[in-house]
Amino acid sequence: MILNLYVQVILHSAVSALGVEALLLLWKVQKPAQRWRYRLLALLLPLLTVPAFRLLDPSWGSAAFRAGEALLDSKRWLDLKLGGVTGKIAAWAVLAAGILGFLLQEVKPLILEFWKDKFPHRALEDFPSLVSSLGCWSRISPGDAPVVEILDTDEPLSKCKGGKRAAIILSSGLLHRVDDKELLSILAHEAAHLRKKDHQYGWALLFIRCLHAANPVGLLVFRKLGEENEKWCDDLSVAVTGDPFSLASALIHVYRGSVVKTQYSWDWYRSGTRALGAKARRAVIVARIKRLLETRSYGESLLEPWRLGVTAISLAFLLFRVV
Amino acid sequence: MASAVMREVGKSVVTMAAVLGGISVLLAGLNRLPVVLQPEVSHRFKDFPGVLEAERELGARIWIPAYFPDSLSWPPALVRVEKSEPPVVVLGILRNPDHDLALLLLQSLGKGDFQPLSVPPVNEVVETRRMTVKGMSALLSRTVDGSGRIWTRLQWETPSRRFLLIGRASSEELIRMAGSVGGGHR
């Protein structure tokens, strides 16, 4: 039962992701905001369709359904035996590896975050350029300037935190590296996150990520969703400042500062995964910088909200025949 | 403006159809692959869209009951031929309106071994009794499956075929259906 459910969610994730990526490519959807919505659809559909189909149609997944109506019957693969290994054993192995990966990649850092020594804070007044940028906050976002916390670390950091009491977190390492224009671009980027309420929706997304815990396809889609969100906020930042190059330049500082020193540790796992994680993060930063340096505007289809709806319904119909 | 919208609608529909069609073909291929890789283990049977297609492939008539309770849905949701010797035909019939599997009719097209694969497992045999169907000896039993559901089984044979009816209907209905099974016109 658990294995069947797991395999069905993975299959539905794969079909949804494949359909969404193909449509994004063929329809030439370029705007990050739209791409983000399509990818959210690919993340949500498998979580909704599998329980909905089971509830709405009790025959869904039955032997008769699998034999007659299913376009892809996962049981055929689970029953397949190659090289002494059945599909069921392979699926259990993927499930176990997925759970382990989720615990190490997502849960462990979260727990360590609570327990590790916090960086000391610096006073806002230590950074006059930041004070003056916050003084003209109305130029980059409506409303009052948010709380800004400055962490005393050389690592260039810039992010938002909090639920109802939102705050922008910057590091002294970042503030020492950037000039006034770059700082304004970064603040405009973080302001975009706050305006979109990402600090609140982030918890909902984390919950969805937990539901996809052992799903490797879900993990990939989730990563792409995060990247698209950063690009979306880059666009909102540039729309306010009109200066993509300062944001690109600020990201170069972040890139340079995040290059980790090679760690010759006996703890091969720790150094290996850190290096891998840093490499992936840096690849995303490079993609964002390249995108900012390309001066082009993205057109929007007149049909856009409808196309998303039709995509959702069409994929749901297709997924009904994947069991 | 209107023509631009129509053109975009057309392009979007064609693209959507192409993507869904492409994925469907891919899925159908993936569904077929285990059969290609391991026909002897995974697929000792073949499913057909309908009774006529199965008859065409077998070159023989499939006998079906003339009597079906109204609660059952026709045509069968499952038409399967198990590639044993002799072949065994399995018809899976759903119940209205919940589309739950309600009846399995299995028949071997000969009098050899009758060990069909597509039979729900039996956890417990509650009752067994001998009786006759159309003057031929039959075995009626009531069984419980792994989910605690009761299934009635009726097994009998004619001079040319063996039959097994497995259903959630009452014994009386199963016996009536068995009595109406024949190779004549439908």
Residue range B49-61: mean pLDDT, rounded: 86
Please say whether the beta carbons of B175 and B136 come within 8 A: no
CB atoms within 10 A of CB A299: 10
pLDDT tens string B61-82: 899 998 888 888 888 988 988 8
ipTM of this model?
0.83
Which comes out higher in pLDDT, residue A204 or A260?
A: A204
Q: Is the pLDDT of residue A265 over 50?
A: no
Q: Please write down the long-range contacts of A89-96, taking CB distance under 8 Å and 24 or more positions apart.
A: A91/A3, A91/A6, A91/A7, A92/A3, A94/A10, A94/A214, A94/A216, A95/A3, A95/A6, A95/A214
pLDDT over 70, % of chain A: 91
- Between A56-60, A157-161, B171-175, the lowest mean confidence (pLDDT) is in A56-60
Q: How confident is the model at residue A262 (pLDDT cuts 50, 70, 90)?
A: very low
Question: Highest-confidence range of A263-267, A293-297, A318-322, B66-70, by mean pLDDT?
Answer: A318-322
Which comes out higher in pLDDT, residue A12 or B42?
A: A12
A319: closest chain B residue by CA: B24
Q: Which residues of B touch A85 (CB under 8 A)?
A: none
pLDDT at B183: 57
How does strand B88-94 pair with strand B45-48?
unpaired
Q: Is the pLDDT of residue A268 over 60?
A: no
Of A28, A40, A33, which Cα lies nearest the Cα of A239? A33
For A175, residues 6+ apart whose C-beta sits below 8 A from its C-beta are A127, A129, A130, A150, A183
Of A190, A173, A140, A197, which Cα lies nearest the Cα of A255? A173
Q: Which residues pair with A222 in a beta bridge?
A: none
For A194, residues 6+ apart whose C-beta sits below 8 A from its C-beta are A141, A146, A160, A166, A168
B21: closest chain A residue by CA: A318
Q: How confident is the model at residue A273 (pLDDT cuts 50, 70, 90)?
A: low
Please say whether the beta carbons of B16 and B22 come within 8 A: no
CB atoms within 10 A of CB A190: 26
Per-residue burial over A124-156, b if 16 or more Cβ lie within 10 Å, else e, is: eeebeebeebbeebeebbeeebbebbbbeeeeb
Q: Which residues pair with A72 in a beta bridge?
A: A322
Q: How confident is the model at residue B185 (pLDDT cuts 50, 70, 90)?
A: very low
Residue range A71-78: mean pLDDT, rounded: 86
In whole angstroms, what is the distance from residue A58 CA to residue A37 CA? Answer: 31
Measure the CA angle with vertex B144, ends B143 and B148; round to 5°: 165
pLDDT at A266: 47
Q: Which residues of B touch A63 (CB under 8 A)?
A: 78, 92, 101, 118
Q: How confident is the model at residue A68 (pLDDT cuts 50, 70, 90)?
A: low
pLDDT tens string A188-214: 999 999 999 888 888 888 899 889 988
- Reading the block at residue B32, the tokens are 């077929």
Which comes out higher in pLDDT, residue B140 or A272?
A: B140
Q: B23, A303: Cβ pair inside 8 Å?
A: no
Q: Which residues of A touch B77 (CB under 8 A)?
A: 59, 64-65, 67-68
Q: Is the pLDDT of residue A303 over 70?
A: yes
The sign one gets for the Cα dihedral A76, A81, A86, A87 is negative
pLDDT tens string B3-35: 878 888 899 999 999 999 999 999 999 988 887
pLDDT at A19: 97
A55: closest chain B residue by CA: B98
Q: Is the pLDDT of residue B118 over 90?
A: no
Predicted TM-score of the model (pTM) = 0.69
Q: Is the pLDDT of residue A83 over 60?
A: yes
Q: How confident is the model at residue A261 (pLDDT cuts 50, 70, 90)?
A: very low
- Between A100-114, A143-157, A230-244, the lowest mean confidence (pLDDT) is in A100-114
Q: Is the pLDDT of residue B1 over 70?
A: no
Q: Which of B16, B98, B101 sits opposite A314 (nearest CB)?
A: B16
pLDDT over 90, % of chain A: 44
Q: Is the pLDDT of residue A263 over 50?
A: no
Q: Which of A63, A77, A318 sits opposite B23 (nearest CB)?
A: A318
Q: Which residues of A touch B37 (CB under 8 A)?
A: 80, 82
- Taking phi over 0 as left and psi of -120 to 50 as alpha, with beta for the rest, A215 belongs to beta
Give the containing element (helix H, strand E) for B39: helix B39-42
In whole angstroms, what is the distance from residue B102 CA to residue B99 CA? Answer: 8
Q: B12, A62: Cβ pair inside 8 Å?
A: no
For B152, residues 6+ apart whose C-beta sits below 8 A from its C-beta are B140, B141, B142, B143, B166, B167, B168, B169, B170, B171, B174
CB atoms within 10 A of CB B8: 15
In one-letter notation, the amino acid at residue A162 is G
Q: Is the pLDDT of residue B60 over 90?
A: no
- Min distance A34 CA to chain B CA atoms (Å): 16
In whole angstroms, what is the distance from residue A16 CA to residue A82 CA? Answer: 28
Chain B contacts in chain A segment 82-111 (CB below 8 A): 82
Please say whether the beta carbons of B143 and B125 come within 8 A: yes
Q: Which residues of B touch A310 (CB under 8 A)?
A: 12, 16
Q: Which residues of A touch B20 (CB under 8 A)?
A: 19, 314, 318
Which comes out higher in pLDDT, residue A301 or A294?
A: A294
pLDDT tens string B135-176: 888 999 998 887 788 889 999 988 889 999 999 888 888 999
A12: closest chain B residue by CA: B27
- Min distance A67 CA to chain B CA atoms (Å): 6
Q: Is the pLDDT of residue A70 over 60?
A: yes
On average, the pLDDT of chain A sits at 86
Q: Is the pLDDT of residue A41 over 90?
A: yes
Q: Is the pLDDT of residue A272 over 90?
A: no
Q: Is the pLDDT of residue B100 over 90?
A: no
Q: A303, B42: Cβ pair inside 8 Å?
A: no
For A103, residues 6+ apart whose C-beta sits below 8 A from its C-beta are none
pLDDT at B166: 92
Residue range A126-130: mean pLDDT, rounded: 89
